[in-house]
Amino acid sequence: MNDKEIPMTDGRITAGVVRLGETIRRPITTDRSQVQILLLHLEQQQFFGVPRFLGIDERNREILSFLPGSVPSDLDHFDDEQLSAASALLRRFHDATASLVSDEDGGTEVMCHNDWGPTNAVFVDGLPTGIIDFDTMAPGLRLWDLGYSAFTWLDLGNPDYTGDEQIRRLFVFANGYGLKQCSAATIATYALARQTALAVSGKTRGNADMAAWAESAAMWTVLNITERLAPTGYGLIARV
């Protein structure tokens, strides 16, 4: 093979990841067996929004199919169509993983990506069409994943948006996922939980900048979203 290895620089890429022809080569530094099982399962489910697992190369690197498109390097401003596409893609991912979760997983519903934000999205023609980076995947609740996703896709805590606008965008996100009730309040509650968890994680890991950002975002979410939505009767139980 005469293809040259090209370092991947889009998004927040794991060190050492390269493109070789129409494949991605990813160094294996931890046990990746569960990720590989997930990707093979998604292929069987004909879910085409993730890379395909193609094996291990001679340098003990994971071989994944290359998803064409662009990956944002950070959070950004996304319009309603992009937000709806992001939550709809997460819904299809969740539905395709539900059969991987057993009763032994303690009442969980699906495999959660746990980091489904813009920096792990592949965009084509301006819309998110692919999901990458499954290092943090684990069995969990749909809303646990939805909360984090709303936090990052809407950039909850960003003062560029008013509370009213973010509440409206939360409904767009909820509708894109296909929730059967008006569940902006529900998603906001879980977004706050994820912001708080991220702040604790940042402190524990000695990442003061992450902790401060997450704490500030959580405070903004309380003042502008959860305290305003909770009393209105929008309902805190989501049925999907």
Tokens of 219: 């405070």
- Using the 8-state DSSP alphabet, how is residue 238 labeled? -
The pLDDT score that the predictor gives to residue 239 is 37
Judgement on whether residues 129 and 189 belong to the same structural domain of the protein: yes
One domain, residues 102 and 21: no
Task: Tell me the per-residue pLDDT of 75-110, one tens digit each, with 9 for 90 and over.
Answer: 999 999 999 999 999 999 999 999 998 766 667 899
Residue type at 189 in one-letter notation: T
Question: What is the band of 12 on the pLDDT scale with cuts at 50, 70, 90?
Answer: low
For the whole model, what pTM was predicted?
A: 0.90
Q: For 21-33, what is each residue's pLDDT tens digit?
A: 999 999 988 889 9
Mean pLDDT of the chain: 90
Residues 195 and 149 reside in one and the same domain: yes
Q: What is the pLDDT of residue 236?
A: 37
Statement to judge: residues 25 and 59 lie in one domain: yes
| Residue located via tokens 């290895």 | 5
Is residue 49 domain-shared with residue 127, that is, in the same domain? Answer: no
> Residue 58 domain-assigned?
yes
Per residue in 138-174, pLDDT (tens digit) is 999 999 999 999 999 999 999 999 999 999 999 999 9
> Does 239 fall in a domain?
no
**Can you tell me the distance from the alpha carbon of 185 to that of 167, in angstroms, rounded to the nearest whole number?**
8
In this structure, are 111 and 146 located in the same domain? yes
What is the domain extent for residue 26?
6-65
178 shares a domain with 92: yes
Tell me what percent of the residues of the chain surpass a pLDDT of 90. 77
Give the count of domains, the chain. 2
CA dihedral 227→231→233→237, nearest 10 degrees, is 50
Q: Is residue 33 part of a domain?
A: yes
- Whether 54 is in a domain gets the answer yes
- Asked whether residue 74 is domain-assigned, the answer is no
Residues in the chain: 240
Q: Which CATH number characterizes residue 172's domain?
A: 3.90.1200.10
Task: Round to whole Å and give the CA distance between 197 and 59.
Answer: 36
Give the contacts of 227 (CB within 8 A, at least 6 positions apart): none
Domain match, 21 and 140 both: no
Burial class from Cβ neighbours inside 10 Å (0-12, 13-18, 19+) for residue 77 reads exposed
The helix/strand/coil state of 65 is strand
Confidence of residue 237 (pLDDT cuts 50, 70, 90): very low
8 Å CB contact between 20 and 3: yes
Region 223-237 average pLDDT? 66
Task: Give the whole-angstrom CA distance, residue 190 versus residue 196.
Answer: 10
235 versus 216: the higher-pLDDT residue is 216
Q: Is the pLDDT at 55 greater than 90, yes or no?
A: yes
What confidence tier does 56 reach under pLDDT thresholds 50, 70, 90?
A: very high
pLDDT attached to residue 233: 41
238 lies in some domain: no
